[in-house]
């Protein structure tokens, strides 16, 4: 049986200067992501369609490789682009939330579900903001946002788990 180094005790204490800088950097990027997400929800329908069209033009060559005929139409491509955007922006948000939770771990532990709840609250506000811009909020988008956030959170926490397991032999 291999000898494992003892994992340091997780006692609440002040953050190191490096963790403080990382927390500030993550909070700034998190705020930027929230501004981006909520700013897009406040865009008019025409502005939103124009942005989606621009992104659809970028991903069209990749989507054409997928063996799903409905994605090869203009309407299918636009729908796919919009849903992919929902997933991607919440994947980023989930990863940022998990990263911030890991940096703040010496002060307070956050569970996967607490982080997911925060992301779902952001998604709910996101959809409610669409009432202001006369667009159609959808519960299905909140579910998709939650799936993206779950994937981002799981990726970051999974990487942390692997690193801690290799370093200390336990998670």
What rounded mean pLDDT belongs to the chain? 88
Tell whether 1 is covered by a domain: no
Q: Which domain holds residue 30?
A: 17-168
8 Å CB contact between 16 and 46:
no
Read off the pTM.
0.83
The domain total for the chain is 1
DSSP string, 140-165: HHHHHHHHHHHHHHHHHHHHHHHHHH
pLDDT, tens digit (0-9, with 9 covering 90-100), for 6-34: 655 555 578 899 999 999 999 999 999 99
8 by Cβ neighbours in 10 Å (0-12 / 13-18 / 19+) ranks as: exposed
Query: What's the pLDDT band for 1 if we cut at 50, 70, 90?
Result: very low
Does 126 fall in a domain?
yes
Please write the tens of the pLDDT for every residue from 113-132.
999 999 999 999 999 998 88
User: DSSP characters for 95-111?
Assistant: HHHHHHHHHTTTT----
Query: For residue 2, is it within any domain?
Result: no
Calculate what percentage of the chain has a pLDDT beyond 70. Answer: 92
With respect to residue 7, please indicate whether it lies within any of the assigned structural domains: no
Greater confidence, 33 or 134? 33
């Amino acid at each position: 049986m291999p000898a494992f180094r003892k994992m340091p005790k997780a006692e609440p204490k002040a953050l190191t200067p490096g963790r403080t800088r990382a927390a500030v950097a993550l909070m700034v990027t998190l705020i930027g992501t929230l501004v981006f997400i909520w700013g897009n929800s406040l865009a008019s329908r025409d502005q939103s369609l124009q942005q989606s069209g621009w992104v659809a033009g970028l991903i069209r060559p990749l989507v054409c490789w997928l063996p799903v005929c409905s994605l090869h139409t203009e309407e299918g491509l636009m729908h796919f682009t919009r849903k992919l955007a929902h997933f991607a922006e919440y994947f980023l948000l989930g990863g940022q939330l998990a990263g911030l939770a890991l940096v703040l771990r010496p002060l307070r532990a956050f569970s996967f579900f607490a982080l997911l709840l925060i992301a779902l609250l952001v998604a709910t506000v996101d959809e409610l903001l669409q009432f202001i811009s006369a667009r159609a909020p959808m519960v299905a988008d909140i579910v998709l946002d939650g799936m993206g956030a779950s994937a981002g959170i799981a990726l970051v926490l999974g990487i942390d788990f692997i690193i801690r397991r290799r370093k200390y032999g336990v998670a």
